[in-house]
Structure formats: C-alpha cells, structure tokens
Amino acid sequence: MADLGTAFSLINAQGERTFVKFVWTPELGVHSLVWDEALKLAGQDPDFHRKDLYEAIENGYYPKWRFGIQTVAEKDQDKFEFDILDATKLWPEDLVPVNYIGEMVLNRYRLSLVIYHSDIS
C-alpha cells in the first residue's frame, strides 16, 4: 500500500465531513535497487527509470495501480490512539479498511512535451 500521507477532507451535500486518505497500490509490487546498483545505473544512464517505463509501455507491459480510499467520519476521528491528521502516520488497514474504487493504467506516453503543453493551452 502506498498512501499519499496527507488526510484530505471531503464534505457531502448535507455538510457532513469525512476524512479521506488516497491509496495507490501497485499491481506489480514495489521493486528497488541497492545503492551500488543505483549509482552504477545512474552514472551510465541518468534516464534509466524513464527508459524502463517507456520500454514497458512500448512492449505492452502496462504499469497498473489500484486506487482506493480510506475514510473516517468526522465524528469518529477521536476513536483512534493516533492523530488521523498526522501526515507521518499510516492508517492501519485493520482499523480503516481500504475501499478500492478504480485503477490507473499507463498504456501510452507523450512523444513530445511541447505538443502536450500546447494541447493544455
């Protein structure tokens, strides 16, 4: 689970506040390099992360994340032994389950950021 750390507040049409954490869970898991490998790769090719992503998309291995939310009603915020608004705290899933509501798939990339920015304009 990889949450954004920050708790946001959403207010419904009746004016009721709910605290929310957004959670992105990678389908492929989390992979890391040891320090020596990272230094070597970065020294040989500082763009190796971007090239790896580009090649994965090009070959049809689309990175995918599940998108979920954890919610706590404002009236329940004091029921925990920790401050739910503390950005350094994760909300334990056994206390505040993740409700998965969608996914994000990187299945294409922009060939030119100049075109992308002119599209936005």
Quick one: pLDDT band at residue 29, thresholds 50, 70, 90? Answer: confident
Sequence-distant (≥ 6) Cβ neighbours of residue 23 within 8 angstroms: 1, 2, 3, 4, 67, 68, 69, 70, 98
Count of domains observed in the chain:
1
pTM summary value? 0.73
- Residue 63 amino acid letter: P
Residue 23 belongs to domain spanning: 2-28+63-106
Quick one: pLDDT band at residue 59, thresholds 50, 70, 90? Answer: very high
Q: Where are the beta strands (DSSP E) in 1-121?
A: 2-3, 8-11, 17-26, 64-73, 99-105
Is the model's pLDDT at 67 over the cut of 70? Answer: yes
On whether residue 50 sits in a domain, the answer given is: no
On whether residue 114 sits in a domain, the answer given is: no
Say if CB 82 and CB 96 are below 8 A apart: no
- Give per-residue pLDDT as tens, 90-109: 899 999 999 999 999 999 87
On whether residue 78 sits in a domain, the answer given is: yes
